[in-house]
Each structure stands twice: as C-alpha cells, then as structure tokens.
A and B are shown apart, each in its own frame.
Chain A
Amino acid sequence: MRLLRSLSFQLSSLFRIGKKNRELDEEFQFHLDMQVEDFVKNGMDPEQARLEALRTFGGVEQEKENCRDAWGMRIADEIARDIIFALRQIRSNRFFSLTIIASLAICLGTNTAIFSIIDSVLYRPLPYKDADNLVLIWNRYPLQNREKWGNSVYQFEERKKATSFQDMGIAQYRPFILTTEDNIEKVGGMAVSASYFSTLGVDALIGRYFEEEDMQAESGNVSILSHKFWRERFGGNVGIIGSSVILDEVSHEVIGIMPREVDFFLRNTSIWTPFKYEPRDTLPDAWHRGYRRIIGRLKAGVSVEAAEREINRINQRFRESYSEFAKLDKESGFHSYVIKYQDEFFRDAKRPLYTVLAVALVLTLVALLNISVITIGHLNFRANEISARFMLGATKARLFRLLTIENLVHCILSGVLGLFLGEILITYEVLYDHRLLPRSEGIGVGMESIGVIACFSLLSAFFLGLVGIFYVWVRWGDINCLVPGQQTNTATMRSRNIRRCLVFCQVVLTCVLLVVASYFVKSFHNLLTVDPGFDQKVVSVRLNPHRSGLADGQRLVESMDELVSELQRTDDFASIGLTSVAPFGGDYYIGTFRVDSASYDINLHEEAAYNIIVDQNYFDTMGISLIRGRNFNAFDLEGNETVLIIDRQLEQELWPNESGVGKYLLQGRGDNVARQRIVGVVEDVNLTTLRHRNENGTRYFYIKQRVPTRSVELVLRLKAAREFSREKVVTIINRVIPEVFVSRSVSLEEDRMSGEQVFQNTARLVTLFTFIALVVSSVGVFGIMSFEVGRLQREIGIRISIGADRASIVSLLIREIMYPALLGIACGCLLSLMLNKLLKDNFFGVARIDFGVFILVAVIIFFVIVIAAIRPIGRALKLDPMEALRYE
C-alpha cells in the first residue's frame, strides 16, 4: 500500500513537475521572508537581515535539489537526460543509427504484418452466436486411407438423436447453372437441411429460411441468396423476395436473403436450396453412402470429446442392429470424429502462416544479433567516453541504463516505423494476397499488434543493452585497463569471444533459414517438374449449355462431333478430346459401386472412385498411356453393355496383382443394377493436386454411353509451333453450337500450380526473408572483420615489418571468423534437421536429410563470409607497417 502511494506520488510529481517546482520556490521564499521578518524584529537592518537569512539558509538551489531527490525525481531526471543524450547520439552518428533503425524497422514491419494477419484471420471469433460450440462431424476409414470422409443422410438422421447436440444440419455442395435474361453462368451453391441455418445461429436478413416442408420432394422449389450475390446481381433489391431465379433450367422462388456475415465464411456459395432426400438415402444400407457435411451445435458444457464418444456409440448401436456392417467397419477401421468449426475452417491456413511468422521471427533475431555486432563495434569507437564515465564514478548499472535507453530510443523509432511499414504491407497485400486467406475482412494492424511490437521493442532494447554492458564489463571490467589498447590479454580474449559468439549465433540462425528456404525452393521445383501423368501442353475449354434442350447433355454431345471437325479444320490442333472434367478443374464427382465378385458376400460393401466421362480421343490427346486392354471404340455404343476404363490405382485396390480387364463392376440397387465391364486400364494421373496421385482411383466412362450432366470440356493438344487463340476457338464454338458458352479456358500447364498458391506464397516469403537474413549476416561479418583489422593493426604491422607474407596475414584474419562460422554451419545444419521434421508436411519430394542441400547451404554461407571479409582483409594487406606501428 505504502509502495503504491509512493509510486503515485512519484508519478504525480513527474507529470506535475512544473507546478511542484513553483511550489518549492514559493515555500523557500516564504521561509526566507519569515526569517528576514524575525531578524528585522530583532533590530536588524532589512538589507542586512536579507543577507543574513540567505547565509543562514545555505545554498538555495542545492536545497531544492535535495527536495527533488526526496520526491524520487532524480532517476526521472537522469532518464530524461539519457534520452536527450541518446537523441544527440543519433544526430551525431546518423549512419550508425539509421542502419540500426532501418534494419530493425524492416524486421518489425514484417512481423507486424504477419502477426496482424494471423490475429485477424485465425483468432477473431467467427461471426456466429456462441461460435465456439459449432462443430463438424466427419468419418474416418483409416485402413482404407480415407482420413476425412463425408456423412450419409442416414447417419445424419441417426446422429440428430444425440443428446450432446442442441441442433444439427446437413449440407451438400451443389453448383448451379444460373440463367438470367442476358447471361448464363455457373454459380456455387449448397443444398442444406432446414436445421442448417438454425444450427449456425444466424437469422435471415430478409424473408425466411427453409422449413421442414421445403425439404419434401413434392414441395415447390425455393432458394435463398447470399448477401453478396443479392447485392451484386440484384442490386440489393428487396423486391426479389417472392420472385424467381432459374437454376439448372428450373424456376426457384427466392424466399430469403442471408446476412452479410455468412459471406466471408462461405465465400463460394451464392445460393442455397433445400436438401431433398432421395428415398434410397433413407434406407439403412445407405449408411456409408454420402459425402455430406454435418454441422452441429454442442449443448453448453458438452466437450468435443464427449460429443465424439456419443457419435461413435451411435455408430456402434447401428452395427449391433445391422450386423452385416460390423465386418465392413472393422476392415475399414471406420469411426467418426468431431472437430470445432473454427479449427476446421482455419486448419489449412495455420501452418503456412505460422511458418512465415517463425521465419520472420528468426530473421528479426538475426537482425538483432547483427545490431549487437554493430553496437559493440560502436562501443569500441566510444572507448574514450566509456573510460571517462568509469573514471568519474559511473557504476555498471548506470552504464547499463544509459545503453538500454540509447537502444530503447532506436527500438521505439524502429517500432513506430515498423507499425507503419506493417500497415503498408497489409494494405497493399505485399506479403499475402488476401484472397488466399480463409477470410480477408478486417485485416489490419490492431491494438494487439501494437502491444506485441511495443513489447518486442522493449525486449530488443533490453537485449541490446545487456549485450552492450556485458561487452563493456568484459572489455573494460578491469579498472586498470581503461585506456584502449592497454587491456589485459584476458580482457582482449574475452571480448573477442563475445564477437565470435555473435557471429556463431548469426551463422546458426542464417544456416537454419537457408536450409528451410532451400527445402521450400526444392519442393517448389519438384512441384514444377512433377509428372502429373498427362501432357501439360494441353488446353482445356469448358462448355456449359445455356439454353433449354441441351441441359441433359445429350444434344451437347451430339453437337460435339461437328464442333471437333470444325476445330480440326483450323489445322491448329494435333488432337482433340472430350471429357466431363479435366485435371485440376475441380467439380470431381465421386461415385460408389460394388465389385461383381463372389468374394463379396455382403451386398453392402461399396467402393468409391472418381467418375470421369471421356471420349475415345481423350487418352491420346492427354498423353495418358493405356497399360492393358483397349480404348473405347465405335462398338461401345449406347444400349450395349456399359464399358469402363479404370486407372492403375483402382485396379490395384480392387484386384491386387491381377488384371482388371474383363472384370465387372456393379452400380445401383435392387432391380436397377447396372453391370459395367472393364475394357482397359490406364496410367494414374494427378487429378486434383500435383502433390498426390489420385488416391481414390478413377472410373472413366465412355461419353457415348453416359453423357455429362452439366458441362463438357474440350481438351486440345496444339500442333508444334501453333499458339492457342481463345478468341478463335470461342468464335468457332459460338458458330457451331450457339447454345453453349465457354465458362473456362486454361492451359493445364498454367493451371497446375493453382492449388499450390498458398505454398508458392509461403516459399516466396521464406526465400525472401532468408535472402535478407543472408545479407544482414554478411554485413555482420563485414563489421567484425573490419573491427578485427583495426584491432590487429599493430600486430599486422609488426608481422609485415619482420617479413610475414600475405598468406599468413590472410590466415590470421580469416581464422578469426572461420572458426565460429564453421561451427555455426555445423550447428545450424543439425538444428535444421530437427526443424525439418516439424515442417515436413510443407515439403514435397525432399528427403528429410538432403545432403545436397546441406552442402549447398554450407558453401553459400562460406562464400558469403569470404566475400564479406574480402574488403577488410584487402585493407589489412595494404597496411603501411610504419603507419600501423604509429597507430594509437
């Protein structure tokens, strides 16, 4: 309590220093006046009385100082003087100060930007009521390598009964073809249950949400629009409620508008329709059929783990009721898991963001070490001043305060500049294209970032002050050695060891960054050079029908022959194929089927694989080689037996070490079972991502037997030396089939990295920061070498004068830097080995221990050190022995 009062007294004194001083003057004046009055009363002459009073009082100013000391103002006063001294130092050592401020400001600016992005993106709560209670439920089949699998309608209906949940909704991604008077386009959408929005905990902005009746098959078609879509397409017109939109050629009444906050979360969803169950979805044998997302709202106080246990108990009860599933579930290791919505939503963004933040922090550490090197160099420059301070009785604590305050001024200026720089980096999206982030609204430098940067600045100043005082203590600790050049050997060795230690730390950190960056660059290179299993020189052009009559795809396919002939007439294309979806094109449909085999005694075991519809020229155009069997041909016509080509992955999965050609797959239920004969096996391709070959396997259907329902893609392989002209192709398409529009045309080579943008950005930033760290470290090495040349000037002079050759001088100097540097490289490589284990999921196609990378890193650092040391060494070699001996 007393301490608090004393502190408040000191603070009030500090902030009211002017008033306090005036009061002190008045108080002393009053005392003097009273004394004069008393002397006069005792018969003294007024002038004599005034002089006598002053004499009795003593030194007025000295007494005032004593009172100020009693207020505890001396420290504040000294600090103020130190700050003024630090500002003067900045003015008189502009280059030194600017180097420190600029390098720290760049690092703090980068950290500000990344920290602000992380804070704004990952840690702001979702804009839903009690968002912490929102969870997602997924299935896992670990023994079949399916780590995250969707839910079936039947599972949803069972899980709704769980007592852990307050509410639960189901949704399925569903793109629509939207037809308006003057346009036709594809828009993202979702089919959702009536409970979906109530689970999310949002209210309709206008109109209403779906009700249970809307989900009935016989009810009318209704839709809800997203806020963004409503604003952009319908100008925010409230009158849209009750009118219709044409989705997939069917009129849907608009019944509601979602509020704005849902937009950020479901960016690609513009329209919602009710989820209408198909009758077969509600049968128990559809237990494992489905790829839907279930969202749940936990009851207050229920943990994610408890909810997960209950869901798995429901799974167990289902198995007990339908024992035929027990074997299947055991074979696949089936179980469900529950994850918080927020965790799931930001999961993919977390790792790249934290990686970049960690690299930026290491860069800042490298910069701080470098500043330490510069600072101790500067302390040597200030040797006379420091010696004088010691001689005048300054304590080490006093000197530490002075050095810390000097660094604090630097760090505060750097922090302020860093905050501005951070804001600029965010505003102009220099580090991150905000579209790559899960949410981009409201990203900016907030109070949290300012607080973190303020703490960081204080800690940096403290660290630099500590390094400074430690160096001073080691170098000038012995009071007998205050004069520069007169230090004892021990002090010289110790101070040299500090410099070596700083170089060592810098090299370790730079080495770690360089290894990590090399792994990123190598992964990126591996991604660029990965063979996806098809010819990437192919251009894909997606056609979507935009008038009735072609929506079923039948006529579209029929029109394709003519279109292909027309395109071939241009003589631009070596080969033209058709497919429902080209690689990296998104919108892959996963179909389920069974194997027609006696070994499958239960009729419920379903396999899953991508369904792709292609024509007979597709494999040739794409350069996908046929391993076994044959391609589709004219005999595989509609009405005959359905034929399939599968990829090697699916063949291996279904018939390990056996040919799949001639085998049959079954699709459908009851009386509606279709047999599909496998006629060929093709090589696997990277369908969705460059990182993995297709894990599910693929069934290729023949376009003449199964027509694409939504769109058709042309895959065009150009002849040598021909350029793709989009305009030319679009003109031909419009002329031959005016009922379609081109929704996407892209070269597969350009499109290949579209799924790797986040990785690309992370690799770019890591490489950039590493390059900066390398430059900063080389500056540090340059500084140390320059200092060593200065320090050893006398010794070099003696050596030269007694006939030492250049090699021995170079060797003397290079030893100073090489020992710590080589040790730093070795330790850095070891440390990176451990770090790479943590970062391994970021990398692609790089061994955990890649000796090539380690050797390259060592060579780069070695050369950077040599280059940084060249100039100081050159200066040493040019030394005139006489000049050197006269030094100091």
Chain B
Amino acid sequence: MAPEKRDLLQGTLDLLILRILKSGNRHGYDIARRIHIVSGEVLTVGQGSLYPALHRLEKKGFLRAIWQETETGRNAKFYSLTPEGRTRAEQVTEYWREFTEAINLILEKA
C-alpha cells in the first residue's frame, strides 16, 4: 500500500532547494510550494525541515538571504544562490544522477 504523503529521502532536500533556486530568488513558502508543484504534487516539504535546511545552507555560504517586497507588497526573506551555491548545485545534481542511475540499474536488472 502506497503512503498517503511522500516524504523526501534523507539528504535530498538540500539538492531540491539548490535546484529550485537556480531559476531565481524565492522565499521559503514559495520554495516549498514550488517543490510540491514541480514534483507533480508528490513531494511535500514540511516547514520543520525546510527552514533549518535554508538556514544551514545560508550558514555554509551556499545561499544568500535578503529582505525584499513580494508582489503583494509584503516584506519577505528571499533566498538566492551564491557562486559557491551554484557550483554546489551542479555537484549534487551530478551526484544524484549517478546515484539514481545506479539504483535504476539494480531495480531493472536485479
């Protein structure tokens, strides 16, 4: 029986955040919604994981955060990739591809 709500595999949240932010600056709520939509409403990121991950990536220097107005005129904290963040995004994407290919091979051939 499939689970009602698909949780993220451990360690993949950083990859998703970095990937989502490649397309531009977003605030926390937007990132969570974007992950949900782009994944075809399969993946849901809980706030309990999202915000600590964002702050951790900011601390590591992969993200930069600035306060700016949204379309509705409210102030929100927008995250964007730093140059190190971009490099990191490439690295983890590449790693994930290799990883999933390996898993697929096992699933297909084992």
Seen from chain A, the residues whose Cβ lies within 8 Å of a Cβ on chain B are 2, 5-6, 9-10, 23, 26-28, 30-31, 33-35, 56-58, 62-63, 66-67, 69-72
Contact = CB atoms under 8 A, between A and B. Distances in A.
B77 A66 contact: no
Contact of B51 (A2, A27, A33, A56): A27
A111 to B, nearest CB: 41
Given A27-B77, A30-B29, A67 B52 contact: yes
The residue among B52, B53, B77 with the most chain A CB atoms within 10 A of its own CB is B52
A57 B58 CA distance: 22
Contact of A66 (B51, B58, B60): B51
Interface in B38-67: 46-48, 51-53, 55-56, 58-61, 67
The residue among A34, A58, A63, A71 with the most chain B CB atoms within 10 A of its own CB is A34
B97 interface: no
Contact of B76 (A6, A9, A30, A57): A30
Interface in B7-55: 27-29, 46-48, 51-53, 55
A71 B28 contact: no
A16 to B, nearest CB: 13
Contacts of B58: 9
A371 B46 CA distance: 52
Interface string B58-98: 11110000010000001111000000100000000000000
B63 to A, nearest CB: 11
Contacts of B46: 58
B29 A6 contact: no
14 contacts: A5-B61, A6-B60, A10-B59, A27-B76, A27-B77, A28-B47, A30-B29, A35-B29, A63-B51, A63-B52, A67-B51, A67-B55, A70-B59, A72-B59
A452 B53 CA distance: 42
The residue among A9, A70, A71 with the most chain B CB atoms within 10 A of its own CB is A70
A57 B50 CA distance: 11
Contacts of B77: 23, 26-27, 30
A767 B41 CA distance: 84
Contacts of A26: 75, 77
Nearest to A1: B61
Looking at chain A's contact residues, is the secondary structure mostly helix, strand, loop, or mixed? helix
A6 B59 contact: yes
Nearest to A13: B59
A66 B48 contact: yes
The 5 closest A-B pairs by CB, nearest first: A70-B55, A70-B56, A34-B29, A66-B52, A5-B61
B59 A31 contact: no
A6 B59 CA distance: 6
Contacts of B59: 6, 9-10, 70-72
Nearest to A7: B59
The residue among A2, A23, A27 with the most chain B CB atoms within 10 A of its own CB is A27
Nearest to A63: B48
A755 B77 CA distance: 78
Nearest to A65: B52
B92 to A, nearest CB: 15
B50 to A, nearest CB: 9
Contacts of A27: 28, 51, 76-77
Nearest to A27: B77
B9 to A, nearest CB: 19
B61 A30 contact: no
B4 to A, nearest CB: 14
A30 B61 CA distance: 24
A31 B52 contact: no
The residue among B48, B55, B58, B75 with the most chain A CB atoms within 10 A of its own CB is B55
Nearest to B55: A70
Contacts of A9: 58-59, 61
A2 B59 CA distance: 9
Contacts of A2: 60-61, 84
A446 B18 CA distance: 52
Contacts of A28: 47, 51
The residue among A6, A26, A31, A72 with the most chain B CB atoms within 10 A of its own CB is A31
Given A27-B76, A71-B55, 10 more contacts: A9-B61, A26-B75, A27-B28, A28-B47, A30-B28, A30-B77, A56-B47, A57-B47, A62-B48, A70-B55
B29 A31 contact: yes
B32 to A, nearest CB: 8
B64 to A, nearest CB: 11
A34 B47 CA distance: 13
A470 B26 CA distance: 52
B47 A63 contact: yes
Contacts of A6: 59-61
Contact of A58 (B48, B56, B67, B84): B48
A69 B52 contact: yes
A27 B67 CA distance: 10
